[in-house]
Amino acid sequence: MSKEEYLKSLSDCVFEMEDEKVVTVAEEYLREGHSALDGINLGLVDGMNRAGALYEQEEYFVTDLLLCSDAMYNGLDVLKPHLQSETAEGEEPIPAVIGVVQGDTHDIGKNLVKIMFETAGFTMYDLGRDVPIEAFVDKAQEVNARLICLSTLMTTTMIGMQRVVELLKERGLYGKIKVMIGGGPVSKNFCDKIGADAYTGSAMEAVRVAKMLLNGEPIPAS
């Protein structure tokens, strides 16, 4: 098969909940010498995005998404060890804290962002899901993080993102520690409203924006 055919097959495995077949396809894909990063972004993540679109159209249910994510994670287990870090020799990894805000247990998107950031040379301190607000700021202070990444898929928990920003202000850390937010119900308008530093809609975009943010470069309007 061509690389494009392999990518389509990886996407289909996730979309069609083929949690065993995806392992075989991912292994064959690597044996052919193809990029692990492309396999994740253009294969596995594409399949998850397709499933998410059907979920929004109410053709897939939560149970379907969970089965799709099982397939995606099986594929990730094969591809992730072959990712090449982009950290330049002699360059210190950038510490960042990531987690899903309190009240939400959906962590598929957060996990993808974490993988992309680690590949890009960040040291990620993953607090998991349903994380208390103070834990984000406490951990950021403990590890001297330059960035906090917040995720949620529930509108009812978006207020937690605002509380993290407010807590940074209370501790005199606002502006010193940047805040990036993402997730299904989150938007650029909400980001601006709460005073977060950046919003992104995808894992790959998050890495690009994070580097611009930390380098003091202006973030282009999305």
Domain with 21 in it: what CATH number?
Answer: 1.10.1240.10
Which CA distances in Å does 33 have to 6, 30, 37, 79, 110? Answer: 12, 5, 12, 12, 28
Same domain flag for 47 and 134: no
Residues 104 and 173 occupy one common structural domain: yes
Q: What are 88-97's pLDDT values in tens digits?
A: 555 678 999 9
> Cα angle vertex 119, ends 44, 101, to 5°?
75
Residue 134 lies in a domain: yes
Question: Measured between alpha carbons, how far is 121 from 126 in angstroms, rounded to an integer?
Answer: 15
Quote the domain boundaries for residue 203: 94-214
Please give the pLDDT value at position 101: 96
**Number of domains composing the chain:** 2
Closest CA to 180 of 155, 198, 201, 207: 198
Contact 101, 159 (CB under 8 A): no
> Is residue 120 located within the same domain as residue 198?
yes
DSSP strands (E only) in 67-177: 94-100, 122-126, 147-151
pLDDT band at 57 (very low <50, low <70, confident <90, very high): confident
Q: Does pTM top 0.85 for this prediction?
A: no
Q: Is residue 222 domain-resident?
A: no
Same domain, 75 and 161: no
Token pair recorded at residue 207: 């890495």
Residues 102 and 32 in one domain: no
Please tell me whether residues 62 and 113 are part of one structural domain: no
- What's the pLDDT band for 157 if we cut at 50, 70, 90? very high
